[in-house]
């Protein structure tokens, strides 16, 4: 996530055709972000005296947390966007530049023109977001969370937890060995997220999803590396009321970069 913070995108009119359209370019440390037409839909730009445009962009990472979705295409303001990889279940696509303002995002089945779901969001300039596709057996929804990091300790791993299982109750995340963060990752409702919390880095954590009300462990995942200087989002995925091994509640982990 450090790679996108407070970038200002600039482009010349004569350079627009040479920049990849669609979702925009990846954020890279140490470089000014080159922004083009149709980056998650184009908004108005400010023209400067040297005939260039200066726009502070937002950034969006896409996560497919919908087990029955199949491969999806991403739609912004009615336009199908280029994606660097097949957007199937459990796929995380790296941060892409996005013009700020009101945006209508949606998804279709891959190579289909039938919109499965859409929703309007507001993107603030200079801010990064995670956009999740979620599912309860055919009812696709979109959920967006702001990726606000705050102060970072480079000797720690920064972790947050979000609940992206539509039909699940409030969930809590437990780490073993204990990271001393029980209250920080507790009682998270659907589409909500905790703050990023600094924890002791380890090569092998066991993660448990717990029903906050009953205390019952609903899913677990072992051997998870959470390393110093890295930033992670851990999310609940899948369908709470399913016993199907391909659909049931599970745990996803991504590195925000």
What DSSP assignment string belongs to the chain? -TTTTT-EEEEEGGGGGGS--BS-PBP-TTSPPP--TTBSS-----B-TTSEEEEE-EEEEEEE--TT--SEEEEETTEEPP-SS-B-TT-EEEEEEE--EEEEEEEEETT--SEEEEEEEEE-TT-EEEEEEEESSS-EEEEEEE----S--TTSEEEEEEE--TT---EEEEEES--S-GGGG-SB-BT-BPPPEEE--EEEEEEEEEETTT--EEEEEEEEEE-TT-EEEEEEESBTT---TTTB-EEEEEE--
Q: Give the Cα separation of 235 and 173 in Å (integer).
A: 9
Q: Give the Cα separation of 126 and 9 in Å (integer).
A: 10
When comparing pLDDT for 245 and 49, which is higher?
Answer: 245
Note the pLDDT of residue 53.
56
Reply yes or no on whether the pLDDT at 162 is more than 50: yes
Question: Do 139 and 132 form a contact (C-beta atoms < 8 A)?
Answer: no
Q: What is the pLDDT of residues 200-239, one digit of tens each?
A: 999 999 999 999 999 999 999 999 999 999 999 999 998 8
Beta bridge partners of 112: none
Q: What is the pLDDT of residues 12-40, one digit of tens each?
A: 222 222 223 334 443 332 222 233 333 34
Report which of 233, 228, 231 is spatially closest to residue 207, judged by C-alpha positions: 233
For residue 71, name the pLDDT band (cuts at 50, 70, 90): very high
Note the pLDDT of residue 138.
75
Q: What is the pLDDT of residues 40-57, one digit of tens each?
A: 433 333 334 455 556 789
Note the pLDDT of residue 52.
53
Q: What number of CA atoms fall less than 13 Å from residue 217's CA on the CB side?
A: 9
> Which has the minimum average pLDDT: 28-37, 78-87, 94-103, 221-230?
28-37
Report which of 132, 170, 164 is spatially closest to residue 239, judged by C-alpha positions: 164
Reply yes or no on whether the pLDDT at 181 is more than 90: no
Report which of 205, 209, 208, 251 is spatially closest to residue 226, judged by C-alpha positions: 205
Backbone phi, psi, residue 14, to 5°: -80, -5
Residues, the chain = 257
- The mean pLDDT of 117-145, rounded to a whole number, is 93
Total-model pTM = 0.79
Note the pLDDT of residue 68.
86
Note the pLDDT of residue 152.
79
Tokens of 82: 């280029």
Q: What percent of the chain has pLDDT over 70?
A: 76
Residue keyed to tokens 């801010």:
127
In the chain, what is the straight-line distance between the N-terminal and C-terminal CA atoms, in Å? 4
């Amino acid at each position: 996530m450090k790679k996108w913070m407070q970038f200002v995108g600039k482009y010349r009119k004569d350079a627009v055709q040479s920049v990849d359209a669609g979702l925009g370019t990846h954020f890279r440390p140490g470089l000014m972000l080159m922004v083009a037409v149709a980056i998650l839909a184009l908004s108005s730009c400010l023209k400067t005296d040297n005939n260039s445009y200066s726009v502070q962009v937002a950034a969006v990472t896409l996560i497919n947390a919908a087990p029955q979705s199949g491969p999806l295409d991403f739609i912004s303001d009615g336009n199908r966007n280029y994606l660097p990889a097949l957007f199937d279940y459990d796929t995380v696509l790296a941060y892409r530049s996005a013009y700020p303002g009101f945006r209508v995002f949606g998804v279709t089945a891959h190579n289909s023109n039938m919109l499965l779901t859409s929703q309007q969001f507001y993107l603030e300039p200079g801010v990064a977001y995670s956009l999740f596709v979620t599912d309860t057996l055919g009812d696709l929804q979109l959920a967006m969370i702001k990726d606000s990091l705050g102060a970072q300790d480079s000797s720690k791993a920064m972790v947050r937890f979000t609940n992206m299982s539509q039909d699940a109750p409030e969930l809590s995340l437990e780490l073993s060995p204990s990271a001393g963060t029980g209250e920080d990752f507790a009682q998270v409702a659907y589409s909500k997220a905790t703050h990023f919390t600094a924890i002791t880095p380890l090569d092998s954590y066991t993660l448990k999803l717990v029903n906050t009300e009953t205390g019952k462990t609903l899913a677990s995942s072992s051997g998870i590396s959470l390393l110093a200087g890295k930033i992670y989002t851990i999310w609940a995925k899948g369908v709470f009321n399913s016993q199907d091994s391909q659909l049931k509640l599970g745990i996803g982990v991504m590195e925000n970069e």
